[in-house]
Amino acid sequence: MDRIPINRIELQMQSKGENVSFARIAIAALASQLDITLNDLEEIKVATSEAVSNAIIHGYQNKTEYMVKVIGTLYEDELILEIIDEGVGIADIKQAMQPAFTSDPERMGLGFVFMQSFMDKVEVESKTNCGTKVILHKNIGSAGAAKKAVS
């Protein structure tokens, strides 16, 4: 049987750097509806920031007229985030997820590393010239902590 979410939000924002903090704050407010540690909250904020920044920088190549969609679904033991763009896509997902893989000397190529370090599961679906969907899972709350301990 499908799990019933406690809450769900769907945000659509222009692909502007200014909106990264907006996404981060909205997702933190959603996650805070469960009993969550400050540490987990910080980790969710960093992962959200990385995924939305990637959509803007890489997906839309810093062009600001497109839209990034962020869907947050909160269950009693888990937060699932979907960050979706309709940009250039990722030709080689495996390579893009390697540490220090970046095409820009001013960047560290750590976006996916942080997402993987701070979230419990990271999934990436992408098609060249169609876009990218990043799905981030985080076990949270007391039920989530128990789930984490078992796994």
> Please, what's the b/e burial string for 2-37 (b: 16 or more CB within 10 A of its CB; e: otherwise)?
eeeeeeeeebebebbeebbeebbebbbebbeebebe
Please tell me whether residue 43 adopts helix, strand or coil conformation.
helix
Look up 123 and say whether it is catalytic.
no
Q: Which is nearer to other proteins, 54 or 126 (CB)?
A: 54
Q: Give the shortest CB-72-to-other proteins separation in angstroms.
A: 18
Look up 62 and say whether it is catalytic.
no
Catalytic residue among 24, 43, 54, 78: 54
Catalytic residue among 50, 78, 86, 139: 50
Look up 10 and say whether it is catalytic.
no
Q: Give the shortest CB-21-to-other proteins separation in angstroms.
A: 6
Q: Which is nearer to other proteins, 77 or 119 (CB)?
A: 119
Contact footprint for other proteins (CB under 8 A): 16-18, 20-21, 24, 42, 45-46, 49-50, 53, 56-57, 104-111, 113-114, 117
For 138, half-sphere exposure in the C-beta direction (CA atoms, 13 angstrom radius) is 32
Q: Is 79 exposed, middle or buried (0-12, 13-18, 19+ CB in 10 A)?
A: buried
Locate 126 and state its tokens.
């992408």
Q: Is 118 left (phi over 0), alpha (psi -120 to 50) or beta?
A: alpha
Catalytic residue among 76, 82, 107, 125: 107
Q: Give the shortest CB-90-to-other proteins separation in angstroms.
A: 16
By annotation, the residues acting in catalysis are: 50, 54, 107
